[in-house]
C-alpha cells in the first residue's frame, strides 16, 4: 500500500517529441507550446525531457552535450548519434538526433529556401519517430519515459514505432493543425523500416499515400488537440480533412486542452520590447506604444484613428483574403492597418501593393520578427484573426493580455476564448472582443464596423480591454490538464 503511494508521488518521466521549440526554432504556435510545457509540467510533478531533430539552431542552443547512444538504421532511415544535454534557453534537458545529412541544410526545418518541402522529409521525420521509440525502449539506461508526448505530423510515427518495439510507455499525440498531415507517396512506405502490415486502412495508409498524421491517430493511446472546440470540429466532415471518421471512432480518447500563453514573454507590464509598460489599471503606456508604432511604421500620427494589426502566417487558413476584400472600405473609413507576416506570395504582393499606395494608413512588414510582433500587439487597438479554421490561435490570447481587442471568426480556439461585445455581454462585463460567424467579407465587415463604433465609446472600450486583461491564459491550467492526462494514461496501462 505505502509502496504504491510513494510511487504515485515520484515525478513521472515524460518525453516530449517535437520538431521545433521556442525560443530556438519556431515556425508557428507548436514551438510556443513545446517551449512552455517542460517548465509548466515540472510544477505538476512531471519530469519532462524533450527529443528534437539536430537542426542547426537546436545544436547551437545545446550545452554539455554528450553522446548517449548510436541509433541503428531502420529501413532507409539512416543511423544517427543520439546526444543528451541541456537547452538553457528552454530550461529543459533534451535528446537531440545528430544527423547532419538529414537536418543541417539551407532553408527552414521542413522546406528549402524556396519553400519547397524537402524530398526526404519522410526519412527525416521517421528518424524522429524511431528515436523516440528507442528512448522509450531504454536506449538511455539512466532515464526511461513512462509517457511519450508527440506533437504534430513530424512526430506522427512515434506511437507506431513505439508499438513496433513493444515498449511499456504510453503515447499521447497532440494535433496542432489537422491541415498539415505529413502525406507522402505510397512508394515511400517501404523506406520507413515498418512492417508491411502497417500500410493498411487501419494503419498509416491514406488513399494510397503514407500519412504520418493518420499513423498517430490510429496508434496513440491518447489524442489531444489545442482547444475543446477544435476537438469537436475535427470530428465533422467539414473540418475533419478526411480523418473525421477515424477521429470519431477514437472520440473517447480525444480531448481538447487550450494552449496557454508564456506570461514571462507576453506581459505588457514587463515587456522589454515595447515603448512603455502598462497594466489593466493604468493603460497610459498603451497610448505611448501606439504613438511609437505609428512613428516607426510611418503611419499618420493620429491617436484617434483605429489601428488594426495582423501578426500571422499569410495563408488562406488565416482568413486574410477576407481582409483584402474589406481593405478599400476600411481605408475610406480612415482606419489604419499594420501587418506582419509571411507566406502566400500572392497575399504578400497584394498587401504590399496596398501599403505602397497608402503609406500613411497601411504598413506591411514581410518576414518573421518577434520584437516587432510585440510592438504591433502592444501598439494596435485591435488584432484581427479572421481564420477559416483555427485549432487554438495564440495571437488573440496575446491581444487579450495586451488590451488589444481581438476581432475573430467564431471557430476553434478563437470561439473558446473571445466573447463578442453583444449588448448583453457588455452589460454582463463578459465581452472581450468582436466575433463574426460566416466566413464572408460581409460578416467580417460587420464586426469591423462594430469595433469602429465601440472605439468611439472609450468607457465601453476600456471595459473590454480590462475584461480581456483580467483573464488568465497562463500555462498553469493547461499544464495541470496535461499532467493529469499523462498520469491517467500511464495508470491505465498498468
Shortest approach of ligand ADP to residue 83 CB, angstroms? 28
Residue 345 interacting with ligand ADP (CB under 6 A): no
Q: Which residue is nearest to ligand ADP (CB)?
A: 29
Return the beta strands (E) in 212-332 as ranges: 222-225, 254-256, 307-314
Contact pick of 341, 403, 406, 441 for ligand ADP (by CB under 6 A): 341
Cell 500620427 sits at which residue?
Answer: 301
Contacts of 485 (CB under 8 A, 6+ apart): 172, 222, 224, 255, 257
- Residue 151 or 290: the one with the smaller Cβ distance to ligand ADP is 151
Contact pick of 39, 209, 342, 352 for ligand ADP (by CB under 6 A): 342
392-396-399 Cα angle (round to 5):
155
Return the beta strands (E) in 344-431 as ranges: 362-366, 382-385, 405-409
Give yes or no for a contact between 382 and 309, defined as CB atoms under 8 angstroms apart.
yes
User: How many positions of this chain bind ligand ADP (CB under 6 A)?
Assistant: 18
- Residue 263 or 342: the one with the smaller Cβ distance to ligand ADP is 342
Mask 356-375, x = binds ligand ADP (CB under 6 A)? Answer: ------------xxx--x--
- CA–CA distance, 413 with 410 (Å, rounded to integer): 9
- Residue 192 or 340: the one with the smaller Cβ distance to ligand ADP is 340
Rounded to a whole number of angstroms, the distance between the first and last alpha carbons of the chain is 16
Q: Report the candidate in 372, 370, 352 with the shortest Cα–Cα distance to residue 362.
A: 352
Residue 311 interacting with ligand ADP (CB under 6 A): yes
Shortest approach of ligand ADP to residue 459 CB, angstroms? 30
Contact pick of 340, 384, 401, 485 for ligand ADP (by CB under 6 A): 340
Taking CB under 6 A as the binding criterion, the range among 48-56, 65-73, 110-118, 305-313 that sits at the site for ligand ADP is 305-313
- CA–CA distance, 156 with 116 (Å, rounded to integer): 21
- CA–CA distance, 382 with 31 (Å, rounded to integer): 25
Contacts of 424 (CB under 8 A, 6+ apart): none
What is the number of residues in the chain? 494
Taking CB under 6 A as the binding criterion, the range among 84-92, 125-133, 306-314, 476-484 that sits at the site for ligand ADP is 306-314
DSSP helix/strand/coil, 96? strand
Task: Name 295's bridge partners.
Answer: none
Shortest approach of ligand ADP to residue 354 CB, angstroms? 18
Task: Name 366's bridge partners.
Answer: 341
Q: Report the candidate in 236, 235, 204, 197 with the shortest Cα–Cα distance to residue 218.
A: 204
- Residue 35 or 54: the one with the smaller Cβ distance to ligand ADP is 35
Task: Name 15's bridge partners.
Answer: 49, 148
Give yes or no for a contact between 491 and 16, defined as CB atoms under 8 angstroms apart.
no
- Residue 145 or 260: the one with the smaller Cβ distance to ligand ADP is 260
- Residue 187 or 370: the one with the smaller Cβ distance to ligand ADP is 370
Contact pick of 28, 75, 78, 108 for ligand ADP (by CB under 6 A): 28
Taking CB under 6 A as the binding criterion, the range among 67-75, 131-139, 297-305, 308-316 that sits at the site for ligand ADP is 308-316
Shortest approach of ligand ADP to residue 186 CB, angstroms? 28
- Residue 101 or 345: the one with the smaller Cβ distance to ligand ADP is 345
Cell 500511464 sits at which residue?
Answer: 490
- Residue 164 or 177: the one with the smaller Cβ distance to ligand ADP is 177
Taking CB under 6 A as the binding criterion, the range among 67-75, 158-166, 295-303, 387-395 that sits at the site for ligand ADP is 387-395
Shortest approach of ligand ADP to residue 176 CB, angstroms? 7
Region 388-427 residues binding ligand ADP, contact defined as CB under 6 A? 392-395
- CA–CA distance, 96 with 19 (Å, rounded to integer): 10
* Chain residues in the site for ligand ADP (CB under 6 A): 28-29, 32, 177, 311-313, 340-342, 368-370, 373, 392-395
Amino acid at each position: 500500500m505505502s509502496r504504491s503511494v510513494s510511487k504515485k508521488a515520484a515525478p513521472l518521466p515524460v518525453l516530449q517529441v517535437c520538431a521545433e521549440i521556442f525560443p530556438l526554432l519556431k515556425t508557428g504556435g507548436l514551438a510556443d507550446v513545446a517551449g512552455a510545457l517542460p517548465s509548466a509540467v515540472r510544477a505538476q510533478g512531471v519530469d519532462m525531457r524533450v527529443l528534437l531533430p539536430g537542426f542547426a539552431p537546436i545544436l547551437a542552443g545545446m550545452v554539455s552535450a554528450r553522446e548517449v547512444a548510436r541509433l541503428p538504421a531502420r529501413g532507409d532511415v539512416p543511423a544517427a548519434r543520439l546526444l543528451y544535454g541541456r537547452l538553457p534557453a528552454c530550461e529543459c534537458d533534451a535528446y537531440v538526433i545528430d544527423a547532419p545529412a538529414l537536418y543541417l541544410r539551407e532553408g527552414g526545418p521542413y522546406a528549402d529556401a524556396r519553400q519547397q518541402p524537402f524530398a526526404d522529409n519522410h526519412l527525416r521525420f521517421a528518424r524522429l519517430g524511431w528515436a523516440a521509440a528507442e528512448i522509450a525502449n531504454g536506449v538511455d539506461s539512466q532515464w526511461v519515459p513512462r509517457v511519450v508526448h508527440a506533437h504534430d505530423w513530424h512526430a506522427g510515427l512515434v506511437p507506431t514505432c513505439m508499438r513496433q518495439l513493444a515498449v511499456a510507455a504510453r503515447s499521447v499525440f497532440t494535433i496542432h493543425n489537422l491541415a498539415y498531415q505529413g502525406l507522402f507517396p505510397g512508394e515511400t512506405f517501404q523506406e520507413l523500416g515498418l512492417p508491411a502490415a502497417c500500410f493498411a486502412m487501419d494503419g498509416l495508409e491514406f488513399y494510397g499515400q503514407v500519412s504520418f498524421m493518420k499513423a498517430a491517430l490510429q496508434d496513440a493511446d491518447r489524442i489531444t488537440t489545442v482547444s475543446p472546440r477544435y476537438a469537436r470540429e475535427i470530428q465533422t466532415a467539414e473540418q475533419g480533412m478526411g480523418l473525421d471518421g477515424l477521429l470519431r471512432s477514437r472520440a473517447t480518447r480525444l480531448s481538447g486542452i487550450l494552449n496557454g500563453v508564456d506570461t514571462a514573454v507576453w506581459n505588457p507590464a514587463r515587456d522589454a520590447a515595447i515603448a512603455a509598460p502598462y497594466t489593466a489599471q493604468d493603460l497610459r503606456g498603451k497610448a505611448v506604444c501606439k504613438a511609437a508604432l505609428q512613428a516607426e511604421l510611418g503611419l499618420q500620427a493620429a491617436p484617434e484613428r483605429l489601428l488594426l494589426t495582423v501578426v500571422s502566417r499569410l495563408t488562406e487558413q488565416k482568413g486574410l483574403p477576407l481582409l483584402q476584400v474589406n481593405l478599400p472600405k476600411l481605408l475610406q473609413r480612415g482606419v489604419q492597418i499594420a501587418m506582419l507576416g509571411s507566406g502566400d506570395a500572392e497575399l504578400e504582393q497584394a498587401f504590399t501593393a496596398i501599403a505602397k499606395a497608402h503609406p500613411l494608413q497601411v504598413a506591411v512588414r514581410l518576414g518573421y520578427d518577434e520584437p516587432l510582433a510585440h510592438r504591433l500587439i502592444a501598439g494596435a487597438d485591435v488584432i484581427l484573426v479572421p481564420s477559416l479554421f483555427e485549432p487554438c490561435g495564440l495571437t488573440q490570447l496575446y491581444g487579450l493580455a495586451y488590451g488589444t481587442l481581438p476581432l475573430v471568426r467564431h471557430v476553434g480556439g478563437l470561439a473558446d476564448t473571445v466573447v463578442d461585445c453583444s449588448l448583453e455581454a457588455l452589460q454582463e462585463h463578459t465581452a472581450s472582443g468582436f466575433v463574426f460567424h460566416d466566413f464572408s467579407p460581409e460578416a467580417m465587415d460587420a464586426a469591423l464596423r462594430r469595433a469602429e463604433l465601440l472605439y468611439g465609446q472609450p468607457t465601453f472600450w476600456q471595459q473590454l480591454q480590462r475584461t480581456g486583461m483580467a483573464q488568465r491564459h497562463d500555462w498553469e491550467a493547461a499544464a495541470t490538464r496535461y499532467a493529469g492526462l499523462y498520469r491517467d494514461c500511464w495508470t491505465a496501462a498498468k
